[in-house]
Amino acid sequence: MGRNSIIDELIDKVIYNTYDQRIRQFLLKIAVLDSFTAEQALFVTQENKANEFLKKLCRQNAFIKYDEVLEFYKIHNVLLDFIRVKQQGYSELTMLYKRAGDWYVKKEEYISAYEYFYRAGETEYILSLLNSVGTVTNGHAQFYGSFKLFESVSRELLFKYPIAYLQYISLLLLSGNAKAAENGAKRLNELEKYYENAENIYPNLKKYMLAEICIIRIFAVFNDAEKMIECSNKALDLIEGGQSCLIKRNSPFTFGSPHFLYSYFKQPGFLKQTVKTVAAGFPSFALCSDGCGTGCEYVVLAEYALETGDRKSVELNAFKAKYKAKTKEQTGIVICAVFTLIRLYILEGKTSEGLALLRELREDVAKENDAIYNTTLDLCEGYIYGCLGQLSNIPLWLQTGEMSPASFLYQGMAFNYIVYGKAVLLSKNYIELEMLTEIFPQYFSILGNRLGFLHNQILNAAAKFRLYGSAEGCAAMYKALEMGQEDDIILPFAEYSPDIIEMVRHIAGRNTEDKYIKAVYRCCRQYLSNLKKLPGSMVSLSPREKEVLILTSEGLKRHEIAQRLMISDSTVKTHLENIYRKLKVRGKTEAIKKVALLKIV
């Protein structure tokens, strides 16, 4: 505390008080912003000499800098913290926050605008902006202070701005938190009852609002396919050929999972029926949401065919899904379709074709710069490289189980834990893997993901086989086979073939009349045979590893790379270690020469 006082006194004496009153006032005003352009500074402070003052401050003060690449000014945190203490009780502060909000509205950067209006106490104005159909975009109701704002507002005011309110309710339902979801469902029921009983409202508006409520209710019944279809059809009837303003074409239909069917298969013995239900009923949702979910009926058919070994149907339906989804820019569906194709190609021994598809998909998704789709791609890559036995190619957060860097809804339906389990299996840490398979079911239980439970049981069998021998491993594997047999699921076993083939062979030998177990064994043998044909020299660097290597070749040191990529020094070190291990080299000079030779970068 004393040190901070000394620093404040130094800043006050050496920097702040060296300027005249007008510049000090300018600093007090501009410090409401974290970073800003000269034009923005003029707008917010209303100081006609803003540009002149900023140039002077940059020349004379190392605590204020101009970023020529990004073209904005930034005040160093030490000085910024000092000024913001000075701002306390400043009479113009509320007005400055309003102006900052107005600036971002003018630029159509609404989330930033809402944050400043929240600081200004402009609650109803925020609701009015959120309620405007033209401003509705994914995630706009999630801004600094949003949860406190909505929780503090009366129901009467929220019912006055229903579009704004429904955006908040959807955030609660999608949070992955049981209490928040329960709160969201309760609020949704209240709003629906209000509109059902409302008398002084135009009939068309009433029907439209009830339709939007039905659409948001889909989130409340998520992964219950029949109830979701019921909500969708009811909304379609009410909206009468119109379009939802809340769920649009670019809404995240797959919620961050690279496997669409995985999200809805939750009852053992009902995989085929689930596929029929989804394929027949889900396309209606696209009709009232400007195409959101287009192609899902084909991707679910492709995934089912893949999991159950019907190879002929996989490629046909996956390509149908991909091409149909592209007509409505459904990136989530495209990812699921391509992921299905890659898994098929590895099964068929066409690994190079599969990896070419993966690289192409990464390039396409990178152009969108969407956090959820980037996470979905990480899950795809992690799963695929896990199947290929290439631990170092699995994204780092999925190797370590550090899930915070990821962006997905409903906690990603726990598909991320399948990939994490694959990574730990490849690391040969069988004790850790056994312990994790005791923990993972709690994540799969949230939405009852049957494929998650199946993968977990296979991982558990692999761990037990290595730790305790054939008898315990085979007992656990037999349970996995019983789970798979209920729905004729075959491929997941083959994708673990290097670690489970001995157990499956043993069980097949003792159950010679069991056609299902024989089919699993044949698939495992084929998969393992194709893996053995992979060239030992096949090297694939992740996009981040390529970035690190390029910067290394330019002569940047580790801490400089970390600053450039906005990652930690230790993460750079890990990437370099992975690069050297993949390339089988001893340092950066050899690595740079080898990637040039292999034409990887």
Region 257-266: mean pLDDT is 95
- Give phi and psi for 63, each to the nearest 5: -85, -5
How far CA 477 is from CA of 51, 473, 492, 520, 526, in Å, comes to: 71, 6, 12, 12, 19
More confident residue, 177 or 74: 74
Query: In angstroms, rounded to a whole number, what is the distance separating the alpha carbons of residues 576 and 448?
Result: 39
pLDDT at 383: 97
Looking at the predicted structure, is the pLDDT value of residue 351 above 50?
A: yes
Residue holding tokens 């974290």? 34
Give the β-pairing of 64-67 and 72-75. Answer: antiparallel
Most confident of 50-54, 76-80, 83-87, 477-481: 477-481
Looking at the predicted structure, is the pLDDT value of residue 152 above 70?
A: yes
Least confident stretch, 235-249, 469-483, 576-590: 576-590
pLDDT at 411: 57
Specify the fold of 261-532. 1.25.40
Region 32-36: mean pLDDT is 92
Sign of the alpha-carbon torsion through 273, 276, 278, 284? negative
Looking at the predicted structure, is the pLDDT value of residue 177 above 90?
A: no
Looking at the predicted structure, is the pLDDT value of residue 129 above 70?
A: yes
So where are the chain's domains? Answer: 261-532, 543-598
Tokens at residue 273, please?
């029926």
Looking at the predicted structure, is the pLDDT value of residue 3 above 60?
A: no
The overall pTM is greater than 0.75: yes
Region 117-142: mean pLDDT is 86
Region 499-510: mean pLDDT is 97
Looking at the predicted structure, is the pLDDT value of residue 353 above 80?
A: yes
Looking at the predicted structure, is the pLDDT value of residue 79 above 80?
A: yes
Q: Which of 236, 232, 239, 233 is nearest to 207 (CA)?
A: 239
Region 460-475: mean pLDDT is 97
Looking at the predicted structure, is the pLDDT value of residue 516 above 70?
A: yes
Query: In angstroms, rounded to a whole number, what is the distance separating the alpha carbons of residues 100 and 45?
Result: 9
Looking at the predicted structure, is the pLDDT value of residue 1 above 50?
A: no
543-598 has CATH 1.10.150.20 classification: no
Looking at the predicted structure, is the pLDDT value of residue 361 above 90?
A: yes
Please report how the helices 351-368 and 371-387 are oriented relative to each other, as an axis angle in degrees rounded to 10.
Answer: 170
pLDDT at 309: 93
Place 2 in a pLDDT band, splitting at 50, 70 and 90: very low
Total residues found in the chain within this entry? 601
pLDDT at 537: 46
Region 101-123: mean pLDDT is 94
Tokens at residue 241, please?
């050929």
pLDDT at 281: 95
Looking at the predicted structure, is the pLDDT value of residue 538 above 70?
A: no
The percentage of the chain sitting over the pLDDT mark of 90, rounded to a whole number, equals 67
Place 412 in a pLDDT band, splitting at 50, 70 and 90: low
Region 430-444: mean pLDDT is 97
The DSSP secondary-structure symbol of 67 reads: E
Region 96-102: mean pLDDT is 96
Looking at the predicted structure, is the pLDDT value of residue 319 above 50?
A: yes
Place 321 in a pLDDT band, splitting at 50, 70 and 90: very high
Region 489-518: mean pLDDT is 97
Looking at the predicted structure, is the pLDDT value of residue 297 above 90?
A: yes
How far CA 277 is from CA of 228, 376, 379, in Å, comes to: 11, 25, 26
**71-108 burial code (b ≥16 CB/10 A, e <16):** ebbbbeeebbbbbeebeeebeebeebbbbbbebbbeee
How far CA 591 is from CA of 458, 534, 585, in Å, comes to: 37, 22, 6
Alpha helices in 200-291 (DSSP H): 203-220, 225-239, 271-281, 283-287
Identical fold, 261-532 and 543-598: no
Looking at the predicted structure, is the pLDDT value of residue 213 above 80?
A: yes
Place 425 in a pLDDT band, splitting at 50, 70 and 90: very high
DSSP per-residue letters across 291-331 = TTTTTHHHHHHHHHHHHHT-HHHHHHHHHHHHHHHHTTT-H
**545-559 burial code (b ≥16 CB/10 A, e <16):** bbbbbebbbeebebe
Looking at the predicted structure, is the pLDDT value of residue 389 above 90?
A: yes
How does pLDDT run across 227-236, given as a tens digit for each residue?
Answer: 999 999 999 9
Looking at the predicted structure, is the pLDDT value of residue 201 above 90?
A: no
Place 407 in a pLDDT band, splitting at 50, 70 and 90: low
